[in-house]
Amino acid sequence: MDCPDCGAATVAFAVPDGLDGFDEPAAALCTHCLALHTAESANSNPDFTAVSDDFPTGAAAVPMALAIGLLDSLVLHRETVEILLERVERAGTDPLLVIDRLASDPTLDPNTDLATRRRQVAQLRD
């Protein structure tokens, strides 16, 4: 699936059960603008390095992808983003560091100002 926003490739993945705010069984994260979209099917082994080499792998990957995609509406998805970032931390990854690295990745052109969102998320978590 290509991103409806910018036309770049996406990484499709299954959404874990029990996530308020994203009730779809599958989602796709754009590898260029980092937009999150619903997907018709999920890749059983999503490769988030297609987004960035700085993207986490393993148990942290899917919650980080969802959190990044929901940052565009932080006011609406605050609680969900906080839960997702806690899951990323429990998986052994610093989510704020990931956001910093994605914000400074010259190959990405996020729809959301990640540097600003990173500061807002850090304030929420204090």
**Beta bridge partners of residue 13, listed in sequence order:** 27
Contact 71, 82 (CB under 8 A): no
How do the pLDDT tens digits run along the chain, 126 residues long?
Answer: 899 999 999 999 998 876 655 678 899 999 999 999 999 988 888 999 999 999 999 999 999 999 999 999 999 989 989 999 999 999 999 999 999 999 999 999 999 999 999 999 999 887
Segment (H or E) for 10: strand 10-14
Indicate the SS3 state at residue 26.
Answer: strand
The per-residue pLDDT for 101 is: 97
**Calpha distance 28→1 (Å, rounded):** 8
pTM summary value: 0.93
Of the chain, the end-to-end C-alpha distance in Å amounts to: 38
